[in-house]
Amino acid sequence: MLRHNGGMSERIIPLVDLRNSLPLPPPSAPLAWSSSLQDVRGRPLHDLRISVTDRCNFRCSYCMPKEVFHKDYPYLPHSDLLTFEEITRTAQAFVALGVRKIRLTGGEPLLRKNIEVLIAQLAALRTPEGLPLDITLTTNGSLLARKAQALKDAGLQRVTVSLDGLDDAIFRQMNDVDFPVADVLAGIDAAQAAGLSSIKVNMVVKRGTNDHEILPMARHFKGSGVTLRFIEYMDVGATNGWRMDEVLPSAQVIERLQAELPLVALRASAPGETAQRWGYADAQGLFDPSQGEIGVISSVTQAFCGDCNRARLSTEGQLYLCLFASQGYDLRSLIRGSLSDEALRQQIAAIWQGRSDRYSELRSLMPPDSEQAPARKRVEMSYIGG
């Protein structure tokens, strides 16, 4: 948000606590969801993202700017966090309703003490067909070199590491805690050595800040077995001072890559996938799997709400139906009450059946120069989980 002040522009950072909840709808009868649970737009429930901490050791300006997330910031007290048992019980209810993929996130999930214990509990869950879940985790990589093997041993299959460039000075500036690139790269190496598969690297592209790192990053990870994904800088939360002119549309990312590294479009590997996939081409212009692929996540310029099948469980057990929501549903009070597992499932089913969120679609209908539309109050990504 910009306020004009005698010709000068000063950035105002609103600090609004949106951690209040929506009223719960009446629970659904089991028959209403037992075959295939859908929201009001016909979207199934498939992915669950769980934020395991609202704390982080980085201060990426697009996510947890230092001016807001300072040493006196009111992080949640430990007693407000869902315990591992509460998370696992809630996850089990989601699995009964269709969830097949769980992503642990935050904040920085590897800061949560004994996270591997939670991973082991989630890895033991089974779908109604008796199959294991797809369990993954998104991390800034700072603790990965130390923890990769324990995570793998606990049952983690995949990992996504965030890294915004290879230029050490730029990366240190973007994480704003002077953290070096080399340590994140060591974390990625450790994840590969531990046998974690389908490793992905997420790079948030901010025009004018790190867009010159697109090609060096692509050259570095091409053929390495790691899939690099470029994420459009999003207007998530209310504290990052987002501006449309700092978004580099994915189409331009692809154009810049194509100038040096020919790419061919690949099909989505799963419905509701957030990234559009591109494969590196061989001399004949055909996809060369040995060189791997990249992805672009165009949350701003190409809305993908139409098949969004993701639910988010916040650190303190609030259920959010959209990354851009301002309020969630308080599942923690249900879990800590005397609710049966069946009643918990019925309640979550009713919430999902009432879902109509499609923030990015609505944003794309707004004039291109409108900032932070259509809702101004939004919960922070570090709390809800990316």
Residues in contact with ligand SAM by the rule CB under 6 A? 56, 62-63, 105-106, 108, 138-140, 162, 202, 204, 231, 233-234, 236, 240, 381-382, 386
Pick the closer one to ligand SAM by CB: 90 or 139.
Answer: 139
Burial (CB count within 10 angstroms: exposed 0-12, middle 13-18, buried 19+), residue 262: middle
Instruction: Report, in Å, the least distance between residue 332 CB and ligand SAM.
Output: 20
- What is the distance between the terminal CA atoms of the chain, rounded to a whole angstrom? 22
Chain contacts with ligand SF4 (rule: CB under 6 A)? 56, 58-60, 63-64, 106-108, 140, 162, 304-305, 308, 310, 322-324, 357-360, 382
Q: Which does 202 bind (CB under 5 to 8 A by kind): ligand SAM, ligand SF4, none?
A: ligand SAM
Q: Which does 300 bind (CB under 5 to 8 A by kind): ligand SAM, ligand SF4, none?
A: none
Instruction: Report, in Å, the least distance between residue 177 CB and ligand SF4.
Output: 9
Pick the closer one to ligand SAM by CB: 33 or 179.
Answer: 179
Instruction: Report, in Å, the least distance between residue 368 CB and ligand SF4.
Output: 17
Give the residues across from 313 on adjacent strands: 50, 319
Max Cα–Cα distance, the chain, nearest Å: 65
Instruction: Report, in Å, the least distance between residue 54 CB and ligand SAM.
Output: 10
Instruction: Report, in Å, the least distance between residue 105 CB and ligand SAM.
Output: 5
Measured CA to CA in angstroms, residue 364 lies from 157, 300, 361 at distances of: 35, 7, 5
**Owner of token pair 């028959």:** 31
Instruction: Report, in Å, the least distance between residue 61 CB and ligand SF4.
Output: 9
CA distance 152 to 155: 5
Q: Which does 323 bind (CB under 5 to 8 A by kind): ligand SAM, ligand SF4, none?
A: ligand SF4
Instruction: Report, in Å, the least distance between residue 309 CB and ligand SF4.
Output: 8
Instruction: Report, in Å, the least distance between residue 155 CB and ligand SAM.
Output: 19
Residue sitting closest to ligand SAM (CB): 386
CA distance 294 to 290: 13
Contact residues for 183 (Cβ-Cβ < 8 A; gap 6+) = 141, 142, 145
CB count within 10 Å of CB 365 equals 9
DSSP state of 75: P
Q: Which does 359 bind (CB under 5 to 8 A by kind): ligand SAM, ligand SF4, none?
A: ligand SF4
Pick the closer one to ligand SF4 by CB: 221 or 304.
Answer: 304
Contact residues for 135 (Cβ-Cβ < 8 A; gap 6+) = 101, 102, 103, 104, 119, 122, 123, 155, 156, 157, 158
Q: Which does 383 bind (CB under 5 to 8 A by kind): ligand SF4, ligand SAM, none?
A: none
Pick the closer one to ligand SAM by CB: 257 or 379.
Answer: 379
Pick the closer one to ligand SF4 by CB: 92 or 318.
Answer: 318
CA distance 191 to 193: 5
CA distance 344 to 93: 7
Contact residues for 226 (Cβ-Cβ < 8 A; gap 6+) = 188, 192, 199, 200, 201, 292
Pick the closer one to ligand SAM by CB: 98 or 106.
Answer: 106
Are the C-beta atoms of residues 81 and 53 closer than 8 Å to each other?
A: yes
Structure-token pair, residue 340: 């049966």
Pick the closer one to ligand SAM by CB: 313 or 335.
Answer: 313
Pick the closer one to ligand SAM by CB: 45 or 104.
Answer: 104
Pick the closer one to ligand SAM by CB: 99 or 205.
Answer: 205
Q: Which does 211 bind (CB under 5 to 8 A by kind): ligand SF4, ligand SAM, none?
A: none
Q: Which does 231 bind (CB under 5 to 8 A by kind): ligand SF4, ligand SAM, none?
A: ligand SAM
Q: What is the DSSP string of 15-46?
A: ------EEPPPPPPPGGGTSS--B-TTSPBP-
Q: Which does 357 bind (CB under 5 to 8 A by kind): ligand SAM, ligand SF4, none?
A: ligand SF4
